[in-house]
Amino acid sequence: MRILFVGILVILFSLSGQGQKRDIVYNASLSGFVSTQKTLPFWAVSNRHGLMPNGNGTLLELGLYSDFTNKHKIQFAYGISAGGYLSRPGNKIILDQLFASARWRNLRLDLGMIHPEEQYNGVSSTNGDFVRSGNSRTFPGYNLRSEFIKVPLTKGIIAFKFNWADYMMIDDSYMKDIRLHNKSLYVKIKPHHRLEIIAGLEHWAQWAGKHPTLGKQPGSFSDYSRIIFAEGGGAGSTVSDSINALGNHLGREHLRINYLADNYILSFYHDIPFEDGSGTDFRSFPDGTYCFYYGSKNPEQWISDVIYEFYYTKYQSGSRHDRPATPDEIAKQDPNSHFYGRKVLGGCDNYFNNGEYANGWTLYGQVIGSPFMTPGLSGNLIRIINNRVIAHHIGIKGMAWKTTPYKLMLSYSKNYGTYKDKFNKDQFSGALEVTLPFHNLPFSVETGIYGDLGKLFKDNFGFTVKLSRKGKLLK
C-alpha cells in the first residue's frame, strides 16, 4: 500500500512539473456544527464521504485538483484533498482523496483514492447507487472505466460502458488487509434522440484478508479468478466459501429510463440489490430502489431538481435460506452434498452482512452503500443491524430569488432490523442547506439545519455553518 501512495505522489509531481497549460482548482472550507445530542442528525453526517465526524465540533477541508489537459491524445489529471476535525468523538486528520487519472478517447484510468462521481445533482439519498453511495471514505486502488461506446453498425442506437477495478480496504476492521474487486457492464439503447434506456449489472466482492481465528484467507491469482466468476473456494477456504462462493459477493441490477427534453431531463431508475443467486434471478422482488427525478438545465430556477426515491428491502427472498428436506426431496439429493437433508430456499439475504467478513459492507464503521442500511454494534463488532427497510425520500434543489441556492432533504423510514434481530422503529430525518447571498465577502457562507424525529435515532436538532472558498490557479 505504501508503494501505491508513493507511486501516486511521483505521478502528481511529474504532472505538476509539465509545461503545458492546465487549470488548477483549489477549495478550502471551515465548518462548525452543533446539535442537541452528542451525535449529529442523520443528514448532517450521511453521504459526506466519511469526512464528517459524528459529534459536535469543527472540520477543516482542503483540496487541490487539476483538470484534464487536451494537448496530447492521452490526457492527465490529478487531485489531493484532506480533512481535519476537532470533535467530541476525537481529533483526527483524514486523507480524503489522492489520485492521478489518465484519459484516452472513451477510456479513463483512475489510480488512488477518489470520490464516486456525483449523480442527480446531489439530491439522491444514495447518489443513484444502492451499493456505493458516497457515504463512506474512499479506498485506494485502480479503476479502469469507459464512457458509453457506440456499437458499430447500430447507427448509434446501442452503446455500452464498463468498469474493472480492484481496491484495498485499509480500515481497522475485524479482518485485516481485505481486497475488493469491482466490475460492471451497462448497455444503453437510444431508439429516439429524446429517449434512453440503460440496463446493467454491477458486481462487488470482498476477498482475501486475515481472519483473527481462521487465519489468512485464499488470495492467489487462481483465487482471484474464482472471485471474478463468483465460484466456490478452493484449498484453504472456509466451509461456507466452499459451499457458496469464495469471498463476500454483492451488487446491483440497474435499470434507468431517461427522457431528454431541450431544457430538462426526466428519469426513472430501479436498483435491485443482490447478495447471491436469489437476488440476481429476481426472487427478492419487490426489494429495491424505485426513483423518479426531474432535473432542469437552468440552475437559477426556484426548483431545478426534484427526486423521489422509494426503498423496499424487507423481503430479502424470504425469511429462511434453507429448511429440512422432505423424504421425496432427500431421495433426489446427492448424499455427498453439503446440503444433504436440507432444501435450499435462497432467502434471508441479509443485505450488506457476511459471516467471515463480519463487519460486512462497512468502512471505518460507516455503510458503503445506502445510508438507510444502518450500522451499529452487534456484540463487540460493527455490522449492519438494520437492513429490512421501507423508506421514502424527497430531495429538492434550486435557487430562491435567483440569489440563494438551497437543498432540501426529507426522509421517512420504517425500520425492521434484520431477520435474526427484529424491531419496528419509525424515523423521520430532514435537512435544509442554504448558501447565504453575501456576495461581497471573499468566501461563501453556507448554513444547514438538520433534524431527527423517531425511534431509530434519538430526537435531535443540529445546526452547521460552513465558510468556504474556491478558485483557480492558472498554470
H/E/C letters for each residue in 266-291? Answer: EEEEEEEEECCHHHHCCCCCCCEEEE
Do residues 126 and 117 lie in contact, with contact meaning Cβ atoms separated by under 8 Å?
A: no
- How many residues can be counted in the chain? 475
Q: Which three cell numbers stand for residue 427?
A: 424515523
Confidence bin at 241 (pLDDT 50/70/90):
very low
CB atoms within 10 A of CB 350: 20
Of 296 and 72, more confident: 296
Residue 323 has pLDDT above 90, yes or no: no
The pLDDT assigned to 319 comes to 72
Beta bridge partners of 343: 323
For 112-150, b where at least 16 C-beta lie within 10 A, e where not — what string?
Answer: bbbeeeebbbbbbbbbbbbbbbbbbbbbbbebbbbebee
Position 16 scores a pLDDT of: 53
Q: Calculate what percentage of the chain has a pLDDT beyond 90.
A: 75
How much is the pLDDT for 119? 96
Q: Rounded CA gap, 417 and 411, in Å? A: 18
Q: How far is CA 193 from the centre of its chain?
A: 30
Contact present, 451 and 429 (Cβ < 8 Å):
yes
pLDDT band at 88 (very low <50, low <70, confident <90, very high): confident
Q: For 162-186, what is the mean pLDDT?
A: 95
- pLDDT band for position 72 (50/70/90)? confident
d(CA 45, CA 110): 26
Cell of 200: 446493467
Please say whether the beta carbons of 207 and 220 come within 8 A. no
Residue range 134-150: mean pLDDT, rounded: 97
Given a cut of 60, is residue 289 above it in pLDDT? yes
* Mean pLDDT to the nearest integer, 248-263: 97
pLDDT, residue 318, reads: 77
The answer to whether 121 touches 93, Cβ cutoff 8 Å, is no
* 148 — pLDDT class (breaks 50, 70, 90): very high
1 vs 112: CA distance, rounded Å: 10
